[in-house]
Structure 1
Amino acid sequence: MSPAPHSQPSQRTRIKICGLTREQDVDTAVQAGADAVGFVLYPPSPRHVTAGRAAELAARLPPFVTPVLLFVNESAAAVAAACAAVPAAMLQFHGDESPEQCALAAAGRPWMRAARIPLDGAATFDLVEFAARHEQARAVLLDAHVEGYGGGGKAFDWSRLPPSVNAHLVLSGGLTPANVTDGIVQVRPRCRTLAVDVSSGVERAKGVKDPDKIHQFVAAVRAADALLARSTDALLSAT
């Protein structure tokens, strides 16, 4: 793996809006400035869409906005079929898949792996080891460990993350316009780069996004970027 991470505080935080099911929500996410949009291909989820529906929604995306297909313990054949429908997609594995299963299903496509971070302060999770085992992943997504799969709109304790993780991280789990600025400020110095992923935090109902909340979320992310940039400038001025 590459040397220890050195986060660049002046970077622009990438944003993924996940769990999209409607055309107007895809359009709003793009207009607000999202870098990626996520489609949940996990039937038990209230935000589930079929591969065909994901393809219809992804067809609305302009260049340089990435569709992401979320799978939970899916077969390699089903993953391949979904990727044929949405060929430009990045893959997100959110179940109990091993690194080898992820790589096999991805078949050379870019993918990221969800890490389920305990909500219980007494429980332990070795994120450094997890990231090392998934070194082929484009990123490790941090979500709260709740019953079932997905973060359940819960935020874990960001301060308990390791101080240095040699990976690109995606912060998820309970993010909202009210807390995402603090999450970025706390987590970005701990990794190579940081992105954020939101679903329930910008909804008015499950699978139905709120345009105002999407715009507020993006604005809060940009506020975090500006705050970190000012901190960096002040540090450089003092040296």
Structure 2
Amino acid sequence: MADPMPRVKVCGTTSVQDAVHAAQAGADALGFIFAPISKRLVSPQVARAAGLSVGPAVARVGVFLDQGLDEVLRTAELARVSAVQLHGPLSEAFVRAVANFYPVLRVLRPADLAAGAEVWAGVPAVTPMLDAPQPGGGVPLDWESLRETFPPGAWLAGGLGPWNVAGAIRVLRPACVDAVSQLEARPGVKDPAKVTAFIGAVRATTP
């Protein structure tokens, strides 16, 4: 049986306009970054409005980096996200605490992929997600070197764009592909043509 077509997440969404275009182009999920250090920081209020503008069929993912449990849960509730993406050196207990309230994408780096993914095997509310050491930097990973350790059902980010996502899908067969910087006109502002091209490239690829 052929692998299912991967889903598409357009991350770093900062406006209703960009959210609506991504949804109309076929995105399955939108990412809203709440990490204060990010150039793509968005307020919970704007994220909520953007999420409401696309309807419930599009997942809304709140992205956090080294933020406290109360802040994560409070912001997620204000923004009305449907899942939470966690970056940073967080404890297993912290991730499980968030997973009591929301489905969690636990971001891993190539160096800790095998051990980190094993921790979450069999935990339905937590899905491993592989990203580059510097998220949002636009540098692709070496997918061939990760072929043996990339866990089934994991999500993939890290320098993906319209021109290389097909190769990543064929090598790693991720459940979802996630792009940010390669879809922008400038940090925080999407280029509609790049978003459309990215989603089109995913849909045209046979895993």
TM-score relative to the length of structure 2: 0.92
Is residue 126 of structure 2 the alignment partner of residue 133 of structure 1? no
Change (3 A) 1:25 1:31: same
Is residue 205 of structure 2 the alignment partner of residue 219 of structure 1? no
Q: How far has the Cα of 1:63 moved from its partner?
A: 2.5
Is residue 25 of structure 2 the alignment partner of residue 29 of structure 1? no
**Which ranges of structure 2 fall in alignment gaps of 5 or more residues?**
none
Query: 1:160 maps to what in 2?
Result: 145
Separation of aligned partners in 1, 2:108 and 2:40: 20
Is residue 156 of structure 2 the alignment partner of residue 171 of structure 1? yes
- Aligned-residue RMSD, C-alpha: 1.7
Matches within 5 A, 1:45-194: 45-117=38-110, 125-135=111-121, 136=123, 137-146=125-134, 150-163=135-148, 165-188=150-173, 194=175
The 8 Å contact of residues 107 and 130 in structure 2, kept in 1 or not, is answered as yes
Q: Which amino acid aligns with 2:199?
A: V
Separation of aligned partners in 1, 2:38 and 2:163: 25
Separation of aligned partners in 1, 2:2 and 2:114: 21
Q: How far has the Cα of 1:35 moved from its partner?
A: 0.4
Matches within 5 A, 1:197-212: 197-212=178-193
Separation of aligned partners in 1, 2:61 and 2:145: 28
Q: How far has the Cα of 1:151 moved from its partner?
A: 4.1
Separation of aligned partners in 1, 2:186 and 2:136: 16
Q: How far has the Cα of 1:165 moved from its partner?
A: 4.5
Q: Which has the larger radius of gyration?
A: 1
SS in 1 for 2:131: strand
Separation of aligned partners in 1, 2:62 and 2:69: 13
**Which ranges of structure 1 fall in alignment gaps of 5 or more residues?**
1-7, 118-124, 229-239
